[in-house]
Protein backbone atom coordinates (compact mmCIF):
# COMPACT_ATOMS: atom_id res chain seq x y z
CA UNK A 1 0.00 0.00 0.00
CA UNK A 2 1.27 3.45 -0.91
CA UNK A 3 1.73 5.98 1.83
CA UNK A 4 2.08 9.69 1.44
CA UNK A 5 5.22 11.04 3.01
CA UNK A 6 5.51 14.31 4.84
CA UNK A 7 9.25 14.60 4.40
CA UNK A 8 10.69 17.56 2.39
CA UNK A 9 11.55 16.97 -1.22
CA UNK A 10 14.97 15.40 -1.73
CA UNK A 11 17.56 15.96 -4.47
CA UNK A 12 16.67 14.18 -7.67
CA UNK A 13 18.31 10.77 -7.88
CA UNK A 14 19.76 9.21 -11.02
CA UNK A 15 17.01 8.07 -13.32
CA UNK A 16 16.73 4.33 -13.95
CA UNK A 17 17.34 3.00 -17.47
CA UNK A 18 13.62 2.56 -18.23
CA UNK A 19 13.00 6.21 -17.33
CA UNK A 20 15.77 7.32 -19.66
CA UNK A 21 14.29 5.11 -22.33
CA UNK A 22 10.91 6.68 -21.72
CA UNK A 23 12.24 10.20 -22.12
CA UNK A 24 14.09 9.20 -25.23
CA UNK A 25 10.95 7.59 -26.66
CA UNK A 26 8.77 10.56 -25.83
CA UNK A 27 6.99 8.88 -22.87
CA UNK A 28 5.98 5.66 -24.69
CA UNK A 29 7.94 3.37 -22.39
CA UNK A 30 5.93 4.47 -19.32
CA UNK A 31 2.72 3.95 -21.23
CA UNK A 32 3.76 0.40 -22.08
CA UNK A 33 4.76 -0.34 -18.47
CA UNK A 34 1.55 1.17 -17.15
CA UNK A 35 -0.44 -0.89 -19.61
CA UNK A 36 1.39 -4.05 -18.54
CA UNK A 37 0.80 -3.26 -14.88
CA UNK A 38 -2.85 -2.60 -15.55
CA UNK A 39 -3.26 -5.91 -17.33
CA UNK A 40 -1.62 -7.77 -14.47
CA UNK A 41 -3.84 -6.05 -11.93
CA UNK A 42 -7.01 -6.70 -13.88
CA UNK A 43 -6.00 -10.32 -14.43
CA UNK A 44 -5.44 -10.89 -10.70
CA UNK A 45 -8.71 -9.20 -9.80
CA UNK A 46 -10.70 -11.20 -12.35
CA UNK A 47 -9.22 -14.57 -11.46
CA UNK A 48 -9.87 -14.18 -7.73
CA UNK A 49 -12.36 -16.81 -6.50
CA UNK A 50 -15.58 -15.06 -5.45
CA UNK A 51 -16.89 -15.61 -1.90
CA UNK A 52 -19.75 -18.07 -1.79
CA UNK A 53 -22.36 -18.12 0.98
CA UNK A 54 -22.56 -21.58 2.52
CA UNK A 55 -25.82 -23.37 1.90
CA UNK A 56 -28.17 -23.20 4.89
CA UNK A 57 -28.20 -26.36 6.98
CA UNK A 58 -31.38 -27.80 8.37
CA UNK A 59 -31.15 -28.95 11.98
CA UNK A 60 -32.91 -32.20 12.72
CA UNK A 61 -34.76 -32.39 16.01
CA UNK A 62 -33.64 -35.25 18.22
CA UNK A 63 -36.23 -37.96 18.71
CA UNK A 64 -36.36 -37.29 22.45
CA UNK A 65 -38.01 -33.93 21.78
CA UNK A 66 -40.82 -35.03 19.50
CA UNK A 67 -44.30 -34.70 20.90
CA UNK A 68 -47.30 -35.75 18.89
CA UNK A 69 -50.53 -37.54 19.58
CA UNK A 70 -52.37 -38.49 22.74
CA UNK A 71 -51.46 -41.15 25.26
CA UNK A 72 -54.36 -42.89 26.99
CA UNK A 73 -54.55 -45.60 29.60
CA UNK A 74 -56.04 -47.01 32.75
CA UNK A 75 -54.93 -46.34 36.32
CA UNK A 76 -56.50 -47.55 39.57
CA UNK A 77 -60.00 -46.26 40.13
CA UNK A 78 -60.66 -43.44 42.60
CA UNK A 79 -60.47 -44.15 46.32
CA UNK A 80 -62.84 -42.28 48.65
CA UNK A 81 -63.72 -39.89 45.84
CA UNK A 82 -60.05 -39.02 45.17
CA UNK A 83 -58.91 -40.01 41.64
CA UNK A 84 -55.48 -41.36 40.76
CA UNK A 85 -52.64 -39.15 39.54
CA UNK A 86 -50.29 -40.39 36.80
CA UNK A 87 -46.90 -38.69 36.36
CA UNK A 88 -44.14 -39.20 33.78
CA UNK A 89 -40.69 -38.18 35.02
CA UNK A 90 -38.18 -38.14 32.11
CA UNK A 91 -34.90 -39.98 32.55
CA UNK A 92 -33.18 -37.50 30.21
CA UNK A 93 -32.55 -33.72 30.47
CA UNK A 94 -35.84 -31.95 29.89
CA UNK A 95 -36.03 -28.35 31.07
CA UNK A 96 -39.63 -27.16 30.89
CA UNK A 97 -40.36 -23.79 32.56
CA UNK A 98 -42.82 -23.62 35.45
CA UNK A 99 -46.19 -22.38 34.20
CA UNK A 100 -46.73 -18.68 34.93
CA UNK A 101 -50.44 -19.31 35.49
CA UNK A 102 -51.74 -19.45 39.04
CA UNK A 103 -53.43 -22.71 40.01
CA UNK A 104 -56.63 -22.39 42.03
CA UNK A 105 -58.10 -24.47 44.85
CA UNK A 106 -61.56 -23.10 45.58
CA UNK A 107 -63.98 -23.52 48.47
CA UNK A 108 -67.72 -23.52 47.84
CA UNK A 109 -70.71 -25.69 48.74
CA UNK A 110 -68.70 -26.60 51.84
CA UNK A 111 -66.14 -28.51 49.81
CA UNK A 112 -62.81 -28.08 48.02
CA UNK A 113 -62.72 -27.87 44.24
CA UNK A 114 -61.01 -29.77 42.73
CA UNK A 115 -60.60 -32.64 45.16
CA UNK A 116 -57.16 -33.38 43.66
CA UNK A 117 -54.99 -30.52 42.39
CA UNK A 118 -51.70 -31.07 40.53
CA UNK A 119 -49.12 -28.24 40.36
CA UNK A 120 -45.45 -27.83 39.50
CA UNK A 121 -42.89 -27.10 42.21
CA UNK A 122 -42.46 -23.32 42.22
CA UNK A 123 -45.95 -22.63 40.87
CA UNK A 124 -48.27 -20.28 42.75
CA UNK A 125 -51.52 -21.67 44.15
CA UNK A 126 -54.43 -19.43 45.07
CA UNK A 127 -56.69 -20.72 47.85
CA UNK A 128 -60.08 -19.10 47.38
CA UNK A 129 -63.28 -18.91 49.36
CA UNK A 130 -66.08 -18.27 46.89
CA UNK A 131 -69.00 -18.55 49.28
CA UNK A 132 -70.39 -16.53 52.18
CA UNK A 133 -69.15 -18.99 54.79
CA UNK A 134 -65.97 -18.63 56.82
CA UNK A 135 -63.36 -21.32 56.09
CA UNK A 136 -59.74 -22.00 56.79
CA UNK A 137 -57.05 -23.91 54.91
CA UNK A 138 -54.74 -26.27 56.76
CA UNK A 139 -52.05 -27.85 54.56
CA UNK A 140 -49.84 -30.70 55.79
CA UNK A 141 -47.01 -32.50 53.95
CA UNK A 142 -48.10 -36.16 53.93
CA UNK A 143 -44.48 -37.40 53.95
CA UNK A 144 -43.19 -35.38 56.91
CA UNK A 145 -46.52 -34.49 58.57
CA UNK A 146 -45.24 -30.93 58.86
CA UNK A 147 -47.71 -28.08 58.47
CA UNK A 148 -47.02 -25.93 55.43
CA UNK A 149 -49.52 -23.29 56.59
CA UNK A 150 -52.84 -22.88 58.40
CA UNK A 151 -54.75 -19.72 57.50
CA UNK A 152 -58.30 -18.44 57.61
CA UNK A 153 -60.00 -17.73 54.29
CA UNK A 154 -62.69 -15.13 54.96
CA UNK A 155 -65.79 -14.72 52.85
CA UNK A 156 -64.77 -14.14 49.19
CA UNK A 157 -61.16 -13.97 50.36
CA UNK A 158 -58.05 -15.77 49.10
CA UNK A 159 -54.51 -16.73 50.04
CA UNK A 160 -51.55 -17.37 47.72
CA UNK A 161 -48.82 -19.90 48.39
CA UNK A 162 -45.88 -21.34 46.43
CA UNK A 163 -45.00 -25.01 46.97
CA UNK A 164 -41.26 -25.41 46.48
CA UNK A 165 -40.91 -29.06 47.51
CA UNK A 166 -42.36 -31.91 45.43
CA UNK A 167 -44.64 -34.02 47.61
CA UNK A 168 -48.29 -34.70 48.30
CA UNK A 169 -50.14 -32.44 50.71
CA UNK A 170 -53.31 -33.01 52.71
CA UNK A 171 -55.68 -30.04 52.70
CA UNK A 172 -58.43 -29.63 55.28
CA UNK A 173 -60.73 -27.05 56.81
CA UNK A 174 -60.66 -26.95 60.61
CA UNK A 175 -64.12 -25.36 60.67
CA UNK A 176 -65.72 -28.05 58.48
CA UNK A 177 -64.05 -31.45 59.10
CA UNK A 178 -65.82 -33.04 56.12
CA UNK A 179 -63.86 -30.86 53.70
CA UNK A 180 -60.69 -32.43 52.27
CA UNK A 181 -58.45 -32.18 49.23
CA UNK A 182 -55.08 -33.42 48.00
CA UNK A 183 -52.39 -31.33 46.32
CA UNK A 184 -49.74 -33.20 44.32
CA UNK A 185 -46.61 -31.12 43.69
CA UNK A 186 -44.30 -32.46 40.97
CA UNK A 187 -41.06 -31.57 39.21
CA UNK A 188 -42.20 -33.06 35.92
CA UNK A 189 -44.68 -31.21 33.68
CA UNK A 190 -46.11 -34.49 32.32
CA UNK A 191 -48.86 -35.22 34.83
CA UNK A 192 -52.55 -36.00 34.54
CA UNK A 193 -55.46 -36.78 36.84
CA UNK A 194 -57.53 -39.85 35.96
CA UNK A 195 -61.32 -39.99 36.17
CA UNK A 196 -63.13 -41.90 38.91
CA UNK A 197 -62.92 -45.13 36.90
CA UNK A 198 -59.17 -44.73 36.36
CA UNK A 199 -59.21 -43.72 32.70
CA UNK A 200 -56.68 -41.02 31.79
CA UNK A 201 -55.37 -39.21 28.74
CA UNK A 202 -52.40 -36.89 28.27
CA UNK A 203 -50.59 -35.26 25.37
CA UNK A 204 -47.93 -37.84 24.58
CA UNK A 205 -44.67 -36.76 26.24
CA UNK A 206 -41.48 -36.45 24.17
CA UNK A 207 -40.02 -39.79 23.13
CA UNK A 208 -37.66 -41.35 25.64
CA UNK A 209 -37.50 -43.30 28.90
CA UNK A 210 -39.66 -42.30 31.87
CA UNK A 211 -40.30 -43.24 35.47
CA UNK A 212 -44.08 -43.52 35.52
CA UNK A 213 -45.62 -43.14 38.97
CA UNK A 214 -49.24 -43.69 39.95
CA UNK A 215 -50.50 -42.00 43.10
CA UNK A 216 -53.70 -43.17 44.77
CA UNK A 217 -55.15 -42.43 48.19
CA UNK A 218 -54.92 -46.17 48.85
CA UNK A 219 -51.17 -46.98 49.20
CA UNK A 220 -51.75 -50.52 47.88
CA UNK A 221 -52.85 -49.04 44.55
CA UNK A 222 -49.73 -46.94 44.05
CA UNK A 223 -47.04 -48.07 41.65
CA UNK A 224 -43.89 -47.00 39.83
CA UNK A 225 -42.27 -48.44 36.72
CA UNK A 226 -39.95 -47.49 33.88
CA UNK A 227 -41.60 -47.00 30.49
CA UNK A 228 -40.12 -46.22 27.06
CA UNK A 229 -42.30 -43.89 25.00
CA UNK A 230 -41.95 -43.81 21.23
CA UNK A 231 -44.12 -43.37 18.14
CA UNK A 232 -45.80 -46.73 18.77
CA UNK A 233 -46.82 -45.89 22.36
CA UNK A 234 -50.51 -45.06 22.32
CA UNK A 235 -51.85 -46.54 25.57
CA UNK A 236 -50.62 -47.77 28.94
CA UNK A 237 -52.23 -50.13 31.42
CA UNK A 238 -51.20 -48.92 34.88
CA UNK A 239 -53.95 -50.67 36.82
CA UNK A 240 -53.19 -53.04 39.67
CA UNK A 241 -54.31 -56.67 39.74
CA UNK A 242 -57.00 -56.25 42.39
CA UNK A 243 -58.65 -53.53 40.30
CA UNK A 244 -59.08 -55.80 37.29
CA UNK A 245 -62.24 -57.37 38.69
Structural fold of domain 97-188: Immunoglobulin-like (2.60.40)
From the CB of residue 93, how many other CB atoms can be counted at a distance below 10 Å? 7
d(CA 192, CA 74): 12
From the CB of residue 149, how many other CB atoms can be counted at a distance below 10 Å? 11
Considering the domain 64-96+192-245, what is its CATH architecture?
A: Sandwich (2.60)
Domain map of the chain by residue range? 64-96+192-245, 97-188
- Spatial CA neighbour of 218 closest among 192, 187, 239, 237: 239
The β-bridge relationship of strands 235-237 and 70-74 is parallel
pLDDT in tens, the chain (245 residues): 333 334 333 434 445 454 444 444 444 433 433 333 333 333 333 344 443 444 443 333 344 445 679 999 999 999 999 999 999 999 999 899 999 999 999 999 999 999 999 999 999 999 999 999 999 999 999 999 999 999 999 998 899 999 999 999 999 999 999 999 999 999 999 999 999 999 999 999 999 999 999 999 999 999 999 999 999 999 999 986 554 44
Q: Provide the b/e sequence for 7-35 (b: ≥16 CB within 10 Å).
A: eeeeeeeeeeeeeeebeeeeeebeeeeee
Helices (runs of H) and strands (runs of E) counted in the chain: 2, 16
Phi, psi values for residue 150, rounded to 5° = -145, 100
Amino acid sequence: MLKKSGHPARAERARPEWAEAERAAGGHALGVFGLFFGVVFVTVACTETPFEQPAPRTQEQPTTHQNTGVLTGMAPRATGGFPSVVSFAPRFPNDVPVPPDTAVLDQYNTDFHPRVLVVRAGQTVEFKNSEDTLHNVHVVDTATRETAFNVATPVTGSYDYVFETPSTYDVSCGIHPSMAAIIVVTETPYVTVADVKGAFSIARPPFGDYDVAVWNLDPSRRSQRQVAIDAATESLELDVAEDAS
